[in-house]
Amino acid sequence: MEDYNRILDDILHTVNSVDTPGNVASYIPELAKIDPFKFGVSLQFVNGETYNAGDYDERFSIQSISKVFTLSMAIQCIGDKVWDRVDVEPSGDPFNSLVQLEHEEGIPRNPFINSGAIVICDILLSELENPKDDYLQFMHDLQGSDKIQYNEEVFKSEKSMGYRNVAMANFIKSFKNIHNKPEDVLDFYFYTCSLDMSCVELAWCFQLFAQHGKCAPDGTLFLEPNQIKRINALMLTCGFYDESGEFAFRVGLPGKSGVGGGIAAVLPGEFSIAVWSPKLNEKGNSAKGMHALELFTTHTEKSIF
């Protein structure tokens, strides 16, 4: 039997002994000031066994990992109608590209690039009574506690700096694929990105995707297995911007990254895993995080392939 504590410790040791190149996200001050050498990991099997290492308990900004949660909520709300508004193909372009959006007349390539997530937030704004409260409640239900909160400094900074997202939302609106006011959609979008969570909390919430739609705290079915299958497929093909192929190739797990340096991934039916390290590679994904996950799946031979 594998000694997962030791495997995680070895990985921690290996990634910390390498001088990984890369830079902490700097477009807002709250992200820029994080210690670049942080590294944490939490591995949680579906039977409840949990293994942690490093800064696994420290909260960081989940950023784009939120896109998986908002997509899940949107599917809860309107089911397959989500796919009339966003496509399910990899983009092959950087995460904030407007090029494809122009060629494809306002239908984002998938829900995990910014344009797609903004459309998902527009859906939620139309469907939910109190979008921000309902989103936080969804996270609290997944977590089985109300400790997850949004970070107001991050939220405000994002709002004040996000010219490109303002461009994106107005551009999609010009194609009529946003129904609410662009500024309201963005206000909610930035809110969803500004949650602070730890590796332990993220891996716990990602049990939803490891357990075929069952919520970890109480086993409630949040989404149908077939819906989770599709979200997992999307994470695999589109979860890492234009490095999704590389991640599938090297790691081989469905997952989602954020510019805060977090990555959450699952092996359906077996485990969820969350890593965090703030330095990003040139594609915007956590450099040490990708390295750690590659070491993990290569060593344990636990991947979907």
Where do contacts with a second copy occur on this chain (CB under 8 A)? 87-93, 97-100, 102-103, 109-110, 163-164, 166-171, 173-174, 182, 225-226, 228-230, 232-234, 236-238, 242-246, 248-250, 252, 254, 268, 298, 301, 303-305
241 annotated active-site: yes
- Token pair 């490095």 is found at 243
Please identify, using beta-carbon distances, which residue of 168 and 208 lies nearer to a second copy: 168
Q: Which amino acid would we find at residue 264?
A: A
Task: Please report how close the Cβ of residue 160 comes to a second copy at its closest, in angstroms.
Answer: 12
- Token pair 């990634």 is found at 15
Task: Please report how close the Cβ of residue 268 comes to a second copy at its closest, in angstroms.
Answer: 5
Catalytic one of 51, 56, 150, 189: 189
Question: Residue 241 annotated as binding?
Answer: yes
64 annotated active-site: yes
Please identify, using beta-carbon distances, which residue of 172 and 203 lies nearer to a second copy: 172
Task: Please report how close the Cβ of residue 177 comes to a second copy at its closest, in angstroms.
Answer: 11
Task: Please report how close the Cβ of residue 139 comes to a second copy at its closest, in angstroms.
Answer: 23
Question: Residue 51 annotated as binding?
Answer: no
Question: Residue 114 annotated as binding?
Answer: yes
Catalytic one of 4, 41, 67, 194: 67
Q: Which residues participate in the annotated binding site?
A: 64, 114, 158, 165, 189, 241, 259
Which residues sit in the known binding site for substrate?
64, 114, 158, 165, 189, 241, 259
Residues annotated as catalytic (active site), given as ranges: 64, 67, 189, 241, 259
